[in-house]
């Protein structure tokens, strides 16, 4: 088994953003100031079994169907040791996710953009505003 980790890159879009707008689960420091349109990236260590069997399978199978994709993304996020938990403020977000492991690079292509409100993943957005999350099909880069 190879070591694996997940990159979650978030792009904030909206207004009234401030340095405290992005927080993570316990054990992770809040991100640096996120200016509109600039990416904020977190890296997570993931058990190899989850990364190779569960995460990549869930993302690979994610379809353009909003309800199916929302459920699969929610399930996949639960596999992370320190899942994203809270967004505060006014605005929206786009998440690009990819899995990287020793044998190759998994990345998101052909993003599917849809809306998840705070009830889907728990209380993700304290304001109750929806989040726009982009998810793509996972492919392996042989290089």
State the Cα–Cα distance between residues 94 and 136, nearest whole angstrom.
12
The pair of structure tokens assigned to 119 is 């009830």
pLDDT of residue 19: 32
Q: What are phi and psi of 140, to 5 degrees?
A: -100, 125
- Tens of each residue's pLDDT in the chain, 143 residues: 333 333 344 444 433 333 333 333 223 333 333 333 444 443 333 333 334 444 444 444 433 333 444 444 444 444 433 333 333 222 333 444 433 333 333 333 333 232 333 222 322 333 333 333 332 332 222 22
- Into how many domains does the chain fold? 1
Which stretch of DSSP H or E encloses residue 23?
strand 22-24
Structural domain for 96, as ranges: 4-141
Beta bridge partners of 73: none
pLDDT of residue 94: 42
């Amino acid at each position: 088994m190879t070591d694996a980790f997940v990159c979650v890159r978030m792009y904030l879009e909206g207004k009234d953003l401030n340095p405290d707008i992005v927080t993570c689960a316990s054990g992770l420091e809040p991100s640096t100031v996120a200016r509109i349109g600039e990416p904020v990236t977190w890296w997570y260590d993931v058990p190899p079994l989850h990364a190779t069997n569960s995460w990549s399978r869930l993302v690979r199978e994610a379809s353009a169907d909003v309800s199916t994709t929302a459920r699969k993304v929610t399930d996949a996020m639960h596999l992370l040791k320190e899942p994203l938990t809270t967004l505060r403020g006014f605005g929206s977000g786009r998440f690009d996710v990819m899995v990287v492991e020793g044998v190759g690079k998994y990345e998101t292509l052909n993003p599917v953009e849809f809306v998840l409100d705070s009830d889907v993943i728990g209380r993700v957005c304290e304001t109750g505003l929806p989040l726009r999350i982009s998810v793509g099909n996972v492919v392996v880069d042989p290089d």
